[in-house]
Chain A
Amino acid sequence: MHSKHWISALALTAGLVMGGIAQAQTTVRIAWYSDGNEGEVITDLLKRFEAQNKDIKVVLDQVPYKAITENLPVQLASGQGPDIARVVDLGGIARYALDLRPHLKDAAYWEKNFGPFLPWMRPEGDTKAITGFMTQLTVTGPFVNKTLFEQAGIALPSAKATWEDWGKAVKDVAAKVQAPFPLAMDRSGHRFFSVAISEGAKVFDAKGEPAVIDDGFKRGAKLVYDWHNNGVMKKELWGSVSGTAYRGANDEFKNAQVVMYQSGSWQIAQFDKTVGDAFDWIAVPSPCGAGNCSGMPGGAGLVAIKTTKSPEAVAKVMDYLASEPVLSEFYARSLFVPGHLGIAAKGLDYQGASAPAKAALKVFSDQVAQLSPVAYQLQGYTSNRVIFNAVISRLGQAISGEGSLDEAYKRMESDIAQQIAERKK
């Protein structure tokens, strides 16, 4: 009997102690969306973090992209958001971001390696805060179905070819091989502005205020508009929906229906997996316009949220994820262009990637040097999605036959002015 009592007492004590440990754990919630396999990769990395830091439990809420763009801002405004979030609307979310500097192990490491991207995540007027890091740096650019070019017996345009050259080439290829989509471009502001900026769009005036409609912008818009009227682009993407809706052509590209797909570097992992060896696909440098050969930078940032009750634990998680070995593994396994200057300078070994994926990653990485300062300025502008949405919505209307391009320009200007005024109220 005595020994039984002794064992029971021990079990009770152990239970209480374990319960105490469990109670002492700090929970950090991360809202996360995925384009490819990065959700699996971050889960692996966080398990390792938890093993090293028994006092912190990290809950990864994997949510759809739409939940990040539409629901998260409302959650954050109500003070009910997660502790950390993976976001693409960096400027829009910046006012809810936590300045991590007082809690970081080495703020200088962050400045040194994430320097150019930190302003994208800072609240308006703030020039010092460190709120997060880029989980991926994206660059817009085209993917080409090389097999269709070969079947058509048409040579690929050169690295410095213009958008017009590409438009003509893909139309000829599509006509020869009966492909339904010569050129497909995501219905997205980033994709459109890669054309407009290369055509010389300046987007901002000398004071840094939006002055979107200029000659360069009009050249880009006219190009896209004309492509829809002369069969280079089909109306399924830009003309088929209203408002700010995003439409991509991933399925059409992987089914070999698209000759050239203007999208971006985040698609590499997906195409590597879904296209496989069905046909030869390549990424090509961003075509040139009257102004330059720039794409648009962008990407997703992991941002700490200021309503968190555990800033120290949040900073610990962020420090771990942003550390060079962890982030190298994350970028390499997710096939992402690194948003960490040190890693980018050393170069990444994408071990699991196929030869086409590695080649595509190199093309996009090389494109970073070609990006126009205007493209960086637009990406860093806190209300950039106001501009993107107005352009998508109104250009889409013009493409589907609702009014002229000139009417669309007037509407874009008034939409942008109205929304920015509303924000300033």
Chain B
Amino acid sequence: MASDAPIPAASSDRAGTASLFAAPLALLMRLIDWPMQVLQRLIGERRMAYVFLLPNLVFFSLFVFLPLVINFIFSVTGGAGLFPSERPYVGAQQYAYLFDCGSFLDASSCREDHFWRGVANTARFTVFQVTAMVLFSLLTAVVLNMKIKARGFFRAVYFFPVLLSPVVVALTWKWILQRDGLLNAAITSLGGERILFLVDPSWAMFWIVFVSIWAHMGFYTLILLAGLQAIPADLYEAAEMDATPRWRVFWRITLPLLWPNMIVVIVLALIRGVQTFDEVFVLTGGGPGTATLMVVHYIYETAFANQVQNFGLAAAASVVLGVVLFALTLAQLAASRRKGAA
């Protein structure tokens, strides 16, 4: 807008699809050019940045900030009404209900025990899943960064599950793991005893961690692979000339230079781990008992699956979950800044 140069019209020799879009676009630009120039004259060039930010800000406010505010309002109201106007104000009652515990380490001593079982399961799941995910992603990225045969094929293979819908992933694994599933067919054909993977609490937790890693590892591998490829080759050449052992090269060159990407992977995996719902919901339904019940599943059950849809309690649990996610995001920002400053 600062430039008064005329917008070039679509040249007559341009044919095909490009000109099809170029002509109306050029027309549109001509139409908005004049009012934008007037606006710029009125508010000044520097303030024009805010004008361009405005559409995104409106969209963000409408679909992110406003729901956050509405969620908070719901968390301080009670009853079964849908609209805030139909819901009585109850103050911090929903939070008090959630935090009414004999001991936070024993979910059965809590009034809302399912919430705390969800918190404990989510914490356990996140610790195991993130640790294993980061290790396997790193290992895979390092291998895929080597000059191995069919490297492109293997990169595609590892990334493929990321493209699948979580429901498809969960259903596929359910068919593999159920009583008459593929895995039990293999075990029994080898003379083994059938294992009820989704009925035994320990197996169920193991498999939701495993399936989650299988489904998402490709994404994190890709981030780490990009980081590995950005490490200057001359550092490795220098190390080779010095006959540095490979583990030392990895420890002293690869890992420190990959650290910014590692932080991104760890924080993204943590946030996703805390938010886990869809795959677990389809694969185990939160069971057996409540062995794989996650916080988001608890929120969904409380708000929608019960006859009395307790939006207030679900909203309070969402706020608690939001605070945890906010803390994780701040940790990511702090870690990134510290690394940037170093």
Interface residues of A (CB under 8 A from B): 69-71, 73-74, 77-78, 89, 92, 180, 234-236, 239-245, 247, 383-386, 389, 396-397, 399-403, 407, 411, 414, 419-420, 422-423, 425
**A397→B291 CA distance, assembly (Å):** 9
CB distance from A120 to the nearest CB of B (A): 14
B114 touches A (CB below 8 Å): yes
Interface of chain B, helix or strand or loop or mixed? loop
CB distance from A381 to the nearest CB of B (A): 11
B305 touches A (CB below 8 Å): yes
B33 touches A (CB below 8 Å): no
**A239→B309 CA distance, assembly (Å):** 24
Contact of B114 among A235, A243, A403 (CB under 8 A): A243
* Contact (Cβ within 8 A) B288 A244: no
What would 6 more interface pairs be, CB under 8 Å, given A241-B284, A241-B285? A74-B304, A77-B83, A236-B199, A240-B284, A243-B286, A400-B287
28 interchain pairs (CB within 8 A)?
A: A69-B305, A74-B304, A74-B309, A77-B83, A89-B307, A234-B199, A235-B199, A236-B198, A236-B199, A239-B288, A241-B285, A241-B288, A242-B292, A242-B297, A244-B301, A244-B305, A385-B307, A389-B306, A389-B307, A397-B289, A397-B290, A400-B291, A402-B289, A402-B291, A403-B108, A422-B79, A422-B80, A425-B88
Chain B, Cβ-Cβ closest to A255: B180
Chain A residues with CB below 8 A from B292, complex form = 242
From residue 118 to 172 of chain B, which have CB atoms closer than 8 A to chain A?
none
Interface of chain A, helix or strand or loop or mixed? helix
Known: A78-B82, A244-B305. A396 touches B179 (CB 8 A): no
**A180→B114 CA distance, assembly (Å):** 31
Chain B, Cβ-Cβ closest to A385: B307
* Contact (Cβ within 8 A) B80 A383: no
* Contact (Cβ within 8 A) B308 A240: no
Known: A77-B81, A77-B82, A78-B82. A239 touches B289 (CB 8 A): yes
B310 touches A (CB below 8 Å): yes
Chain B residues with CB below 8 A from A239, complex form = 199, 287-289
**A425→B77 CA distance, assembly (Å):** 10
**A89→B154 CA distance, assembly (Å):** 51
* Contact (Cβ within 8 A) A402 B306: no
Chain A, Cβ-Cβ closest to B113: A411
Q: Which of A236, A244, A401 has the most CB of B within 10 A?
A: A236
CB distance from A184 to the nearest CB of B (A): 12
**A361→B254 CA distance, assembly (Å):** 72
**A400→B304 CA distance, assembly (Å):** 24
Q: Which of A399, A407, A419, A422 has the most CB of B within 10 A?
A: A422
Contact of A245 among B201, B285, B304, B310 (CB under 8 A): B285
**A243→B289 CA distance, assembly (Å):** 8
Known: A89-B307, A235-B196, A385-B307. A400 touches B288 (CB 8 A): yes
* Contact (Cβ within 8 A) A386 B289: no
**A244→B114 CA distance, assembly (Å):** 12
**A126→B290 CA distance, assembly (Å):** 39
Chain B, Cβ-Cβ closest to A397: B289
Chain B residues with CB below 8 A from A236, complex form = 179, 196, 198-199
Chain A, Cβ-Cβ closest to B301: A243
Chain A residues with CB below 8 A from B289, complex form = 239, 242, 396-397, 399-402
B273 touches A (CB below 8 Å): no
CB distance from B148 to the nearest CB of A (A): 42
* Contact (Cβ within 8 A) A425 B78: yes
Known: A235-B199, A236-B199. A242 touches B307 (CB 8 A): no
* Contact (Cβ within 8 A) A74 B82: yes
* Contact (Cβ within 8 A) A243 B310: no
* Contact (Cβ within 8 A) B308 A383: yes
* Contact (Cβ within 8 A) A240 B82: no
* Contact (Cβ within 8 A) B108 A386: no
* Contact (Cβ within 8 A) A396 B308: no
CB distance from A338 to the nearest CB of B (A): 27
CB distance from B227 to the nearest CB of A (A): 39
CB distance from A249 to the nearest CB of B (A): 12
Chain B residues with CB below 8 A from A71, complex form = 304
B293 touches A (CB below 8 Å): yes
CB distance from B93 to the nearest CB of A (A): 10
CB distance from B187 to the nearest CB of A (A): 15
CB distance from A231 to the nearest CB of B (A): 13
CB distance from B270 to the nearest CB of A (A): 24
* Contact (Cβ within 8 A) B286 A242: yes
CB distance from A351 to the nearest CB of B (A): 37
Chain A residues with CB below 8 A from B80, complex form = 422-423, 425
Q: Which of B108, B288, B293, B307 has the most CB of A within 10 A?
A: B307
* Contact (Cβ within 8 A) B307 A92: yes
Chain A, Cβ-Cβ closest to B80: A423
Chain A, Cβ-Cβ closest to B287: A241
Chain B residues with CB below 8 A from A389, complex form = 305-307
Chain A residues with CB below 8 A from B290, complex form = 242-243, 397, 402
**A243→B310 CA distance, assembly (Å):** 14
Contact of A422 among B108, B199, B201, B308 (CB under 8 A): B308
* Contact (Cβ within 8 A) B287 A419: no
Chain A residues with CB below 8 A from B288, complex form = 235, 239-242, 400-401
**A425→B287 CA distance, assembly (Å):** 32
Chain A residues with CB below 8 A from B198, complex form = 236, 240
**A242→B118 CA distance, assembly (Å):** 11
CB distance from A295 to the nearest CB of B (A): 22
* Contact (Cβ within 8 A) A400 B307: no
Chain A, Cβ-Cβ closest to B306: A389
**A293→B237 CA distance, assembly (Å):** 84
**A233→B149 CA distance, assembly (Å):** 52
CB distance from A287 to the nearest CB of B (A): 26
From residue 175 to 224 of chain B, which have CB atoms closer than 8 A to chain A?
179, 196, 198-199, 201
Q: Which of B82, B114, B292, B305 has the most CB of A within 10 A?
A: B305
Chain B residues with CB below 8 A from A407, complex form = 108
Q: Which of B285, B286, B290, B308 has the most CB of A within 10 A?
A: B308
**A180→B286 CA distance, assembly (Å):** 24
Contact of B285 among A69, A73, A240, A414 (CB under 8 A): A240
**A420→B307 CA distance, assembly (Å):** 10
Q: B310-324 toward A: CB 8 Å interface, digit per residue (1/0)?
A: 101000000000000
CB distance from B6 to the nearest CB of A (A): 47
